[in-house]
């Protein structure tokens, strides 16, 4: 772990692993050599951790997630191993700069946004809290697309993140499992005369595991992320090959490997549905087979002890086929009785719900499902029969309730309701913020709550303070260490100690200095990626997240246009200067979200090039927002925009990253904003907008957007500017769909919240003009952000749901 030992290890890897002469070495070669040297340093911890939880009677969490948005690994691993200084020195000895080498790492974009990033934060916390755990997911060959902006429009490029290899993973070709698909089922009598079912698949492929170490901060625990990659089954391909059909063999290989080829974007309509179901089943069956193999072969335990050894968490419904798959494995492969298999299944699974949006609740058309997974459909019917009997016994004669709760939806064509399957098959169901969990019980899962109130709970999301503070905000880290000590890295509530400094003028000066430096860093990045120059003394007003109508990026644009309009109408007017910064991807098939990106860029182009307004406002759309750029964005923000329609954002985690880094929030009472405001104190939060029940009332009364326009001449002018093509060189068509939606069919009520939002923004500006007041509020936000550490969230999961306890790893 010394600098000299690291230098030697990097030099060795340059020679033995990279194998290039010194004269041609590039920063990328140094990155790979250092990454391998760092991985070597985790190896003994990794093996010791795995061995310990195998040998001892510890319970292990398996976190099943279709997405893990891990972000770059090098900096984080150096931090968690506590060898940043040594690595810097080692590279300096080799004539290299650590920051430049870290910047070379490509983003492993195996997630869409919040849900995938949450899974990654949770792995970090489980390792840091010394809880034995495995993350299970898919090793997509192409992650989330790369976003480019051309003439203001989003253009998608494939993300070939593996093209230069991935030094963090270790492939385990010997750890592979078969995955069946399609075909039909048959019944037969086994040797004991028992009636059994056999699945005769149409196709078989195999999953190969790639393991990545997950090093905890300052501890020996090094957990595992196992990602599955799809391969053709050799014997299958060979058969065709031997019969001379070479091309059929190759075809088979191509089809099989398609399964883990690409991550699907959120919010995509129908297209590619069958493959998505196959992806879900693929990673779920490989993971469950792996768990059962470890359980019986390695740990030598009886299957009845499964719930004592494993807690399996379903991150949203994507892995919920696991409920039927575990039943299949126990009953068909291990000859267990139904009742025993079912009680094991329910005791093992927990389910985290992530959305209330009805269109985002997963269902599979029965035809697709039955064709792909015929045995699972039979099992689901049986689960459903027994479950509905239970409902009938509790609520006799309530047939409407029965059809609402059934695992099989009858509305439109028949379909399998995955959220119902996950709820019935789990002993614990949780939402991801207090408000969200309450709404779950009152709306989408109301009937289930009435049946099993004891199943339902809440675990408010959190984010890791290692990556999102220590690693990405080194200036603030230094200041915090000096002020409250470095205990906050593993106990974020220690930041409370900052409160007493909020009134200290010299401390506030240092606080501002840190933020200023972060803003310069972001401004440089913005300049290099967009050509736009930002002044780091301006307020940085930021909304970064996936582009979606419910998140209401367009509401922020309406405010920008209102300021533009004021400045144009009164040339002498002065407003506190602001940079409005957006970032985020739109699903390639989400028409309106792509128009909203165009709108941001169109308004940006107009504002940025007009000397009447660009002296006090600029608009930036930062392309390809991802974890790497997130490291620069959150620490540089003064104002965090969390302006979703109340009741629509389950939690949000971006809101927490901003708060930890000292941004003030302007937001609605939605998701975790509610708790952020509670913690920060209402006087340190800019609240506006309808509450969730007001939103529902407006909707049931019949929302009439025109009424808000009629009563608000300023809003009318703003919409008029868009309609007449002021931002689109006179073109009145390009942004018409956005206007039409706002004015005629907007389920997210943007215009209903416009006045409250714009008035609240005026209060923000007033607060900003009083620099001391702003700093005071900013310090208090960071000081009171302790609750939003993923360490707190993971401790709650472990205590309340998983019953997984700390295990100190000895080397
Ligand atoms: C945190 C994060 C998100 C989630 O942001 P929300 O504001 O909670 O939607 C999305 N993408 C990236 C890259 C993130 O780091």
Mutation test residue for ligand 1: of 107, 113, 639, 663, the one with most atoms within 8 Å of CB: 113
Domain that holds residue 401: 55-71+107-460+795-802
Helix (H) or strand (E) holding 150: strand 146-150
Which pLDDT score, from 0 to 100, does residue 272 have?
Answer: 58
Mutation test residue for ligand 1: of 110, 545, 663, the one with most atoms within 8 Å of CB: 545
Q: Which of 468, 779, 503 is nearest to 638 (CA)?
A: 779
- Do 87 and 150 share a domain, yes or no? no
Per the structure, the count of domains in the chain is 3
Q: pLDDT class for 466, splitting at 50, 70, 90?
A: very high
Asked whether residue 209 is assigned to any structural domain, the reply reads yes
Say how many Å lie between the CA of residue 579 and the centre of ligand 1: 20
Beta-carbon contacts of 473 under 8 Å, excluding residues fewer than 6 positions away, are 514, 518, 634, 635, 661
Which pLDDT score, from 0 to 100, does residue 358 have?
Answer: 80
- Do 313 and 381 share a domain, yes or no? yes
Kindly list the distances between the CA atom of residue 635 and the CA atoms of 199, 598, 638, 660, 778, in Å, as whole numbers in the listed order.
54, 26, 9, 9, 12
Q: Which of 356, 448, 349 is nearest to 405 (CA)?
A: 448
| Minimum CA distance residue for ligand 1 atom 5 | 654
Sign of CA dihedral 556, 688, 459, 345: negative
Question: How many other β-carbons are positioned within 10 Å of the β-carbon of residue 531?
Answer: 8
Q: Are 642 and 673 in contact (CB under 8 A)?
A: yes
Asked whether residue 785 is assigned to any structural domain, the reply reads no
Asked whether residue 696 is assigned to any structural domain, the reply reads yes
Read off the pLDDT of residues 380-392 as tens digits, 9 standing for 90 and up: 999 999 999 999 9
Which pLDDT score, from 0 to 100, does residue 361 have?
Answer: 86
Q: Which of 191-195, 356-360, 483-487, 583-587 has the lowest mean pLDDT?
A: 356-360
Mutation test residue for ligand 1: of 467, 544, 587, 656, the one with most atoms within 8 Å of CB: 544
Q: Are 364 and 418 in contact (CB under 8 A)?
A: yes
- Do 273 and 345 share a domain, yes or no? yes
Task: Please give the average per-residue pLDDT across 14-22, as a whole number.
Answer: 94
Asked whether residue 18 is assigned to any structural domain, the reply reads yes
> What φ, ψ does residue 174 adopt, rounded to 5°?
-80, -20
Q: Is the pLDDT of residue 241 over 90?
A: no
Asked whether residue 164 is assigned to any structural domain, the reply reads yes
Read off the pLDDT of residues 513-556 as tens digits, 9 standing for 90 and up: 999 999 999 999 999 999 999 999 999 999 999 999 999 999 99
| Minimum CA distance residue for ligand 1 atom 1 | 654
- Do 86 and 208 share a domain, yes or no? no
- Bridge partners (DSSP) of residue 111 are none
Mutation test residue for ligand 1: of 630, 641, 645, the one with most atoms within 8 Å of CB: 630
Read off the pLDDT of residues 248-300 as tens digits, 9 standing for 90 and up: 666 667 778 899 999 988 777 655 588 999 999 999 999 999 999 999 998 89
Read off the pLDDT of residues 114-172 as tens digits, 9 standing for 90 and up: 999 999 999 999 999 999 999 999 999 999 999 999 999 999 999 999 999 999 999 98
3-class secondary structure, 378: helix
Q: Specify the ligand 1 atom closest to the Cα of 656.
A: 8
CA within 13 Å, CB half, 253: 13
Q: Are 789 and 465 in contact (CB under 8 A)?
A: yes
Q: How far apart are CA 695 and CA 500, in angstroms?
A: 39
| Minimum CA distance residue for ligand 1 atom 7 | 654
Q: How far apart are CA 290 and CA 312, in angstroms?
A: 13
Which pLDDT score, from 0 to 100, does residue 53 have?
Answer: 85
Q: Specify the ligand 1 atom closest to the Cα of 627.
A: 13
Which pLDDT score, from 0 to 100, does residue 66 have?
Answer: 98
- Do 437 and 449 share a domain, yes or no? yes
Q: pLDDT class for 54, splitting at 50, 70, 90?
A: confident
Say how many Å lie between the CA of residue 627 and the centre of ligand 1: 8
Say how many Å lie between the CA of residue 113 and the centre of ligand 1: 5
- Edge-first strand order for the sheet with 408-409 is 363-365, 415-417, 408-409
Catalytic residues: 354, 545-546, 551, 653, 657
| Minimum CA distance residue for ligand 1 atom 6 | 654
- Do 31 and 115 share a domain, yes or no? no
* Ligand 1 binding pocket, CB closer than 6 Å: 113-114, 117, 545, 625-627, 630, 652-654, 657
Which pLDDT score, from 0 to 100, does residue 255 have?
Answer: 76
Which pLDDT score, from 0 to 100, does residue 242 have?
Answer: 63
Kindly state the percentage of the chain with pLDDT values over 70: 97
Task: Please give the average per-residue pLDDT across 659-687, as a whole number.
Answer: 98
Q: pLDDT class for 425, splitting at 50, 70, 90?
A: very high
Tokens coding 368: 């697709």
- Do 270 and 301 share a domain, yes or no? yes
Q: Specify the ligand 1 atom closest to the Cα of 657.
A: 1
- Do 304 and 192 share a domain, yes or no? yes
Average pLDDT, the chain: 95
Which pLDDT score, from 0 to 100, does residue 270 have?
Answer: 58
Which pLDDT score, from 0 to 100, does residue 267 have?
Answer: 73
Task: Please give the average per-residue pLDDT across 41-59, as a whole number.
Answer: 90
Helix (H) or strand (E) holding 536: none
Which pLDDT score, from 0 to 100, does residue 246 have?
Answer: 65
Say how many Å lie between the CA of residue 546 and the centre of ligand 1: 7
Taking every pair of Cα atoms in the chain, the longest distance, rounded to a whole number of angstroms, is: 93
Q: Specify the ligand 1 atom closest to the Cα of 69.
A: 13
| Minimum CA distance residue for ligand 1 atom 9 | 545
Asked whether residue 492 is assigned to any structural domain, the reply reads no
Q: Specify the ligand 1 atom closest to the Cα of 551.
A: 9
Helix (H) or strand (E) holding 108: none
Read off the pLDDT of residues 748-784 as tens digits, 9 standing for 90 and up: 999 999 999 999 999 999 999 999 999 999 999 999 9
Task: Please give the average per-residue pLDDT across 325-334, as a whole number.
Answer: 97
Asked whether residue 518 is assigned to any structural domain, the reply reads no
Note the helical H segments in 395-499: 399-405, 418-424, 434-442, 446-451, 465, 474-484
Q: Which of 230, 233, 189, 183 is nearest to 209 (CA)?
A: 230
Q: Is the pLDDT of residue 626 over 90?
A: yes
| Minimum CA distance residue for ligand 1 atom 10 | 113
Which pLDDT score, from 0 to 100, does residue 349 have?
Answer: 98
Asked whether residue 655 is assigned to any structural domain, the reply reads yes
Q: Is the pTM of this model over 0.85?
A: yes
Task: Please give the average per-residue pLDDT across 374-399, as a whole number.
Answer: 98
Q: How far apart are CA 690 and CA 509, in angstroms?
A: 36
Kindly state the percentage of the chain with pLDDT values over 90: 91
- Do 88 and 155 share a domain, yes or no? no
CATH number (domain holding residue 644): 3.40.50.2000
Q: Are 267 and 590 in contact (CB under 8 A)?
A: yes
- Do 119 and 89 share a domain, yes or no? no
- Do 61 and 23 share a domain, yes or no? no
Task: Please give the average per-residue pLDDT across 41-60, as a whole number.
Answer: 90
Say how many Å lie between the CA of residue 112 and the centre of ligand 1: 9
> What φ, ψ does residue 808 adopt, rounded to 5°?
-75, 130
Q: Are 348 and 306 in contact (CB under 8 A)?
A: yes
Question: How many other β-carbons are positioned within 10 Å of the β-carbon of residue 285?
Answer: 24
Task: Please give the average per-residue pLDDT across 682-688, as a whole number.
Answer: 98
Which pLDDT score, from 0 to 100, does residue 376 have?
Answer: 98
Say how many Å lie between the CA of residue 417 and the centre of ligand 1: 27
- Do 166 and 98 share a domain, yes or no? no
Q: How far apart are CA 478 and CA 486, in angstroms?
A: 9
Tokens coding 757: 């939002």
In angstroms, the first-to-last Cα distance of the chain is: 15
Tell the residue number behind the tokens 């939806």, with chain if given: 409
Say how many Å lie between the CA of residue 619 and the centre of ligand 1: 20
Say how many Å lie between the CA of residue 716 and the centre of ligand 1: 33
Beta-carbon contacts of 668 under 8 Å, excluding residues fewer than 6 positions away, are 642, 643, 644, 645, 646, 687, 688, 689, 690, 753
């Amino acid at each position: 772990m010394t600098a000299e030992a690291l230098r030697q290890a990097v030099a060795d890897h340059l020679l033995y692993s990279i194998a290039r002469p010194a004269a041609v070495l590039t920063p990328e070669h140094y990155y790979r050599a250092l990454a391998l040297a760092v991985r070597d340093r985790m190896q003994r911890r990794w093996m010791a951790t795995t061995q310990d939880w195998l040998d001892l009677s510890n319970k292990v969490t398996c976190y099943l997630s279709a997405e893990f948005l891990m972000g770059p690994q090098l900096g984080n691993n150096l931090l968690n191993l506590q060898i940043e200084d040594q690595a810097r020195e080692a590279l300096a000895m080799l004539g290299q700069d650590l920051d430049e080498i870290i910047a070379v790492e490509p983003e492993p974009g195996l997630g869409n946004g919040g849900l995938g990033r949450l899974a990654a934060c949770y792995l970090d916390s489980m390792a840091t809290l010394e809880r034995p755990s495995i993350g299970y997911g898919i090793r997509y060959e192409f992650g989330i697309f790369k976003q480019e902006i051309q003439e203001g429009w989003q253009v998608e490029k494939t993300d070939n993140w593996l093209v230069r290899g991935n030094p963090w993973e270790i492939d385990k070709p010997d750890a592979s499992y078969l995955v069946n698909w399609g075909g039909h089922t048959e019944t037969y009598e086994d040797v004991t005369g028992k009636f059994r079912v056999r699945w005769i698949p149409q196709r078989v492929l195999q999953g190969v595991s790639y393991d990545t170490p997950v090093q905890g901060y300052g501890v020996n625990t090094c957990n595992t992320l196992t990602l599955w990659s799809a391969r053709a089954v050799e014997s299958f391909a060979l058969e065709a090959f031997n019969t001379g059909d070479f091309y059929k063999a190759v075809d088979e290989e191509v089809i099989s490997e398609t399964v883990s080829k690409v991550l699907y974007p959120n919010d995509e309509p129908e297209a590619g549905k069958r493959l998505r179901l196959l992806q879900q089943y693929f990673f779920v069956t490989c993971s469950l087979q792996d768990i059962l193999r470890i359980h019986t072969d390695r740990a030598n335990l009886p299957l009845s002890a499964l719930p004592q050894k494993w807690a399996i968490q379903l991150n949203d419904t994507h892995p919920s086929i696991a409920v039927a798959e575990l039943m299949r494995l126990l009953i068909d492969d291990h000859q267990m009785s139904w009742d025993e298999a079912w009680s094991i299944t329910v005791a093992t699974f927990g389910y985290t719900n992530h959305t209330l949006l009805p269109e985002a609740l997963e269902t599979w058309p029965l035809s697709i499902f039955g064709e792909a997974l015929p045995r699972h459909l039979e099992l689901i019917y049986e689960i459903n029969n027994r479950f509905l009997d239970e409902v009938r016994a509790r609520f006799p004669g309530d047939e409407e309730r029965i059809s609402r709760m059934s695992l099989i939806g009858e509305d439109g064509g028949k379909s399998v309701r995955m959220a119902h399957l996950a709820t019935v098959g789990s002993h614990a169901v949780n939402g991801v913020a207090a408000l969200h969990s309450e709404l779950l019980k009152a709306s989408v899962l109301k009937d289930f709550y009435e049946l099993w109130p004891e199943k339902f709970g809440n675990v408010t999301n959190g984010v890791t303070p290692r990556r999102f503070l220590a690693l990405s905000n080194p200036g603030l880290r230094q200041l915090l260490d000096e002020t409250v000590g470095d205990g906050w890295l593993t106990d974020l509530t220690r930041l409370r100690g900052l409160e007493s400094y909020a009134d200290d003028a010299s401390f506030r000066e240092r606080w501002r200095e840190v933020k200023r430096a972060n803003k310069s860093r972001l401004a440089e990045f913005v300049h290099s990626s967009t050509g736009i120059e930002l002044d780091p003394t301006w307020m940085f007003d930021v909304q970064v997240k996936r582009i979606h109508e419910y998140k209401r990026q367009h509401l922020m644009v309406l405010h920008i246009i209102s300021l533009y309009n004021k400045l144009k109408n009164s040339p002498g007017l002065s407003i506190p200067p602001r940079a409005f910064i957006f970032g985020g991807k739109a699903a390639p098939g989400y028409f309106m979200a792509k128009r909203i990106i165009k709108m941001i860029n169109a308004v940006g182009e107009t504002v940025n090039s007009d000397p009447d307004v660009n002296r006090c406002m600029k608009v930036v759309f930062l392309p390809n927002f991802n974890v790497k750029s997130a490291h620069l964005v959150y620490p540089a923000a003064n104002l965090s925009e969390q302006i979703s329609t109340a009741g629509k954002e389950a939690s949000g985690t971006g809101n927490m990253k901003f708060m930890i880094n000292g941004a003030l929030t302007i937001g609605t009472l939605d998701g975790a904003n509610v708790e952020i405001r509670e913690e920060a104190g209402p006087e340190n939060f800019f609240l506006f907008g309808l509450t969730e029940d007001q939103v529902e009332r407006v909707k049931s009364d019949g929302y009439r957007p025109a009424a808000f326009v009629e009563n608000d001449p300023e809003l009318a002018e703003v919409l008029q500017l868009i309609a007449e093509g002021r931002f689109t060189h006179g073109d009145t068509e390009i942004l018409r769909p956005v206007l039409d939606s706002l004015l005629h069919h907007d389920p997210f009520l943007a215009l209903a919240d416009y006045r409250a939002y714009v008035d609240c923004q005026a209060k923000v500006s007033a607060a900003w003009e009083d620099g001391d007041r702003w700093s005071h509020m900013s310090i208090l936000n960071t000081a009171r952000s302790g609750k939003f550490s993923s360490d707190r969230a993971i401790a709650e999961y472990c205590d309340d749901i998983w019953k997984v306890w700390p295990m100190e790893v000895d080397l």
